Chains A and B, each alone.
Chain A
């Protein structure tokens, strides 16, 4: 028992001393993520894309008052760079990159309407980004809705003056008898606040995976496994000591990152001890993946490549910015195998909602931690035996 503790502590203190003896490594591992988080907080503004519109208004199509109303409606979601009747000039602006959209109002939509025909508001754009294309269509549609309401309101106003229809009802109510009312039962959050816990989890996971991935590879390359093989130290103690050392180091990083989150205004509505326990589990699960990579990598560069691959997987499939429900069912095992998936949900619960993480997040993180621990122990034991 005494020897086991001595073994684990030896590995633990070795890992800690080795890390802290390298100031540049400590700076890049601690200051780096904190700076990334700070830059994210200060630099990310979020919100909807603000497209620039070149508005083409054929002569006589709208009255100045209507045009004024239309421009107000457009300006809620877009920036107007020009308003005239020169379509070629507007299209040239689109080609030159001075405008994102050319919006062409129909020439005689009032007459068309009187004849029971719809007119088309044409939106020309040049987008390769499918998300932006969707936004153009969505915002264009809501703009046309707003324009329809303006026109309808005017028409109803005229009808009221002429025919006394809906005499006691305002045209606004006739046009839009239903209006939405929003109330967020939770605290409304900025984009930075919402994404803060996700960035925190992503940084922590990446550091843990990278540290773990490099750990055993370096020892193997250095040749010290020979000493481990000859000495009366069980392979389990070697891995346990490494876990202990890195958990301590990553806990310090987690505290610093949390302080930065607080500085950026991210609320901490949940229980601190739940946060601490969840973070510990998340660190162990992430380290486990790193150690697993370390067992299969044969060089530093392979270990780094695998860490980067994990980072990419996490960004795309961990719910970092793409909603998990957008993925096909067959992707679920991969999604669930990524610690970040559960960490993002758990941290959002603890920090932003003041609720404990879902039980499924605890369980799946625990499963990842246990499986990677066992696999790492087995593979390392095998490597020592096959030295």
Chain B
């Protein structure tokens, strides 16, 4: 847990560390709404996506993720509010702006009777790539998604995962600056999902901006910025780490002591100024979860306090709770 949390922090892109140097944001939404008949739609979307980051839009099925992507790609015009993508209003995109955007739809929409290479060429030609350029990009991207060996295979004969990878390669054919991937990992096995996120990170590291939607809450870990959506509204936007802090009122520390002294340890920790809340957790006997403003500086201090009182500390670490818990906590808070 600790390793994963630190890895995410280390990989935080320059755009988040020094946003002023990353240039204007790729996406700026200001109270953008799109209403369908009835109460369906998305409402008051306000957020910014800096360039060179992976923005993950997370939420349950039907919460408005695809509608948001469609607004951002210019398929829908917002009913109200302002929206710019790469500096232009999406519903008025020029050809040049469209050429900077890659789109991976939720379903596999390519032609089943064409080969992998032909589908790629077709997608590339939609963006005006000539034959020589296409051939170069085909080789590069099919290798990137590990489909080079299958380039002559008929697409209908590919597995679902291969089809999704082909769809990704097609979305990247014209080397877009901004990539929209609508639930790219839906219905995909965990190994391939991990592969997808690896591809996304590589693209991010190459300077691309990615806007990825997913209903797998745990995938938020892979994003630099996460938007949590529910019922057509964006509830939170932050880095995964800060969302965790928001969910639990700060950093979490995990301490394991003797089970028969756990209650005493919790009372002791709750008496410390640096501790916001300390409580026994029931996943494991003797487990305490401690909420604090800054886990890194507080952890040694708390261990010392416990040991000074003769309580044996068996394990102690900064705790990155699974994002499913974070999501549930945040949604619960919003409900309250």
Q: Are A7's CB and B103's CB within 8 A? A: no
Q: Are A7's CB and B128's CB within 8 A? A: yes
The interface-forming segment of B17-25, B117-125, B201-209 is B117-125
CB under 8 Å from chain B, chain A span 186-235: 222-224, 226-233
Given the known inter-chain contacts A14-B111, A14-B118, A232-B99, please indicate yes or no for A9 contacting B123, CB distance below 8 A: no
- On chain A, the residues within 8 Å of B75 by CB distance are 226, 229-230, 387
Please name the residue on chain A nearest to B76 by beta carbon: A387
- On chain A, the residues within 8 Å of B99 by CB distance are 232
What is the CA–CA distance of A39 and B70 in the complex, to the nearest angstrom?
53
- On chain A, the residues within 8 Å of B70 by CB distance are 387
What is the CA–CA distance of A223 and B129 in the complex, to the nearest angstrom?
22
What is the CA–CA distance of A7 and B98 in the complex, to the nearest angstrom?
14
Given the known inter-chain contacts A223-B107, A387-B75, please indicate yes or no for A14 contacting B114, CB distance below 8 A: yes
Please name the residue on chain B nearest to A387 by beta carbon: B75
What is the CA–CA distance of A226 and B105 in the complex, to the nearest angstrom?
7
Q: Taking the complex as formed, is A301 at the interface, i.e. its CB lies under 8 A from any CB of chain B?
A: no
Please name the residue on chain A nearest to B101 by beta carbon: A230
Interface size class of A (residues with CB under 8 A): 20 to 34
Q: Taking the complex as formed, is B113 at the interface, i.e. its CB lies under 8 A from any CB of chain A?
A: yes
Within the complex, the shortest CB–CB distance from A58 to chain B, in Å, comes to 75
Q: Are B109's CB and A227's CB within 8 A? A: yes
Given the known inter-chain contacts A10-B121, A232-B95, please indicate yes or no for A226 contacting B126, CB distance below 8 A: no
- On chain B, the residues within 8 Å of A224 by CB distance are 109-111
Using an 8 Å CB-CB cutoff, how does the interface string of A1-26 with B read, 1 for contact, 0 for none?
01100110110011001100110000
Interface size class of B (residues with CB under 8 A): 20 to 34
Using an 8 Å CB-CB cutoff, how does the interface string of B70-99 with A read, 1 for contact, 0 for none?
100111000000000000000000011011
Q: Are A17's CB and B128's CB within 8 A? A: no
**Interface of A (DSSP majority class):** helix
- On chain B, the residues within 8 Å of A3 by CB distance are 95, 128
What is the CA–CA distance of A7 and B134 in the complex, to the nearest angstrom?
13
Q: Are B98's CB and A231's CB within 8 A? A: yes
What is the CA–CA distance of A217 and B74 in the complex, to the nearest angstrom?
22
Q: Kindly identify which residue among B105, B113, B126 contacts A18, using a CB–CB cutoff of 8 Å.
A: B113
- On chain B, the residues within 8 Å of A7 by CB distance are 125-126, 128
Q: Taking the complex as formed, is B187 at the interface, i.e. its CB lies under 8 A from any CB of chain A?
A: no
- On chain A, the residues within 8 Å of B130 by CB distance are 2, 6
Q: Taking the complex as formed, is B275 at the interface, i.e. its CB lies under 8 A from any CB of chain A?
A: no
What is the CA–CA distance of A7 and B130 in the complex, to the nearest angstrom?
10
What is the CA–CA distance of A231 and B104 in the complex, to the nearest angstrom?
11
Beyond A222-B109, A227-B126, A231-B127, 10 additional contacts (C-beta under 8 Å) are A7-B125, A9-B125, A14-B111, A14-B114, A17-B113, A21-B113, A227-B105, A232-B96, A232-B127, A233-B127
- Cβ contacts A to B, 28 pairs, < 8 Å: A2-B128, A6-B128, A6-B129, A7-B125, A7-B128, A9-B125, A10-B122, A10-B126, A14-B122, A17-B113, A17-B118, A18-B111, A21-B113, A222-B111, A226-B75, A226-B105, A227-B105, A227-B123, A228-B126, A229-B73, A230-B73, A230-B103, A231-B103, A231-B127, A232-B96, A232-B98, A232-B127, A232-B128
Q: 6 tightest CB-CB pairs across the interface, nearest first?
A: A10-B125, A3-B128, A232-B98, A232-B95, A231-B126, A223-B109
Binding site for B on A (CB under 8 A): 2-3, 6-7, 9-10, 13-14, 17-18, 21-22, 222-224, 226-233, 387
